[in-house]
């Protein structure tokens, strides 16, 4: 896939556990589509042979070797159907449990020691890691959008929307993305999470071309995570919004 191909549509997947995915995929979710690729999140032997920062056919889990199905899977499937002559590339950058400070430029989260950043945990923060992976992907394709699902570790913190807006501004500038769509998913409609959704609703006020993806009616796995059916639907909703606003 040498050279930067405008028909290789790339998407950043940023967030925590719901972006990485927790439910175990079923056989129907594992059907490969050779036109959908993923940039390896870590070295894995099973269930799929995959190398860190290497491209391979995208089948779940897209993130860690033992992760589950996240929204990126059905997002890519849905977008691929609308662009049959193109390739879709996913750049998974979610870390379960992390707060938004992990993804802020020049910031070291107070919880940094609790989590590992692939491949060898040498990064001071995840922002620099995301940018390095994105730049590697840009050698072969064009970033068309950012999918974001984070907030369970920051529920109700009024400063959160401003921090997200800062992150998006920095990513767009450092990766020369222009105003690519920024798609932010709502959290579970549960007592532990739903109180954060009004803060997510503020993002389009702060970020140009930001869109909120509804989690209404999605079934839970627990108070914080979507189940398998919920993740399939959530990924499809991300894709439907992207397709509605994307202008090649």
**Active-site residue numbers?**
17, 223, 225
Query: How is 48-116 classified by DSSP, letter by letter?
Result: S-B-TT-EEE--S-SSSTT----HHHHHHHHHHHH-TTSEEEEEEEE-TT--GGGGSTT---TTGGGS-
Q: Give the residue from 77, 35, 241, 32 showing the smallest Cα distance to 145.
A: 241
The encoded tokens of residue 30 equal 């594992």
The residues that bridge with 11 in the sheet, in sequence order, are: 90, 145
Under DSSP, the state recorded for 219 is P
The residues near 106 (Cβ < 8 Å, ≥ 6 apart) are: 125, 127
Half-sphere exposure of 83 (CA within 13 A, CB side): 24
């Amino acid at each position: 896939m040498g050279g930067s191909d405008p028909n290789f549509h790339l998407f950043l997947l940023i967030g925590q556990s719901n972006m990485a995915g927790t439910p175990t995929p079923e056989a129907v979710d594992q059907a490969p589509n050779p036109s959908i690729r993923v940039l390896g999140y870590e070295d894995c032997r099973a269930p799929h042979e995959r190398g860190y920062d290497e491209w391979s056919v995208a089948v779940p889990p897209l993130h860690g070797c033992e992760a589950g199905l996240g929204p990126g899977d059905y997002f890519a499937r849905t977008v691929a159907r609308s662009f049959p002559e193109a390739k879709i590339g996913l750049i998974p950058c979610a870390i379960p449990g992390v707060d938004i400070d992990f993804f802020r430029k020049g910031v070291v989260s107070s919880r940094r020691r609790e989590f590992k950043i692939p491949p060898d945990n040498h990064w001071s923060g995840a922002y620099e890691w995301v940018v390095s992976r994105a730049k590697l992907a840009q050698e072969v394709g064009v970033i068309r959008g950012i999918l974001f699902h984070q907030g369970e570790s920051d529920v109700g913190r009024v400063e959160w929307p401003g921090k997200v807006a800062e992150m998006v501004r920095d990513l767009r500038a450092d990766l020369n993305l222009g105003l690519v769509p920024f798609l932010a998913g709502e959290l579970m409609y549960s007592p532990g999470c739903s109180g954060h959704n009004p803060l997510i609703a503020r993002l389009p006020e702060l970020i140009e071309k930001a869109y909120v993806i509804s989690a209404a009616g999605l079934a839970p796995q627990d108070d914080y995570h979507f189940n398998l059916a919920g993740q399939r639907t959530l990924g499809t909703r991300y894709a439907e919004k992207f397709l509605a606003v994307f202008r090649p």
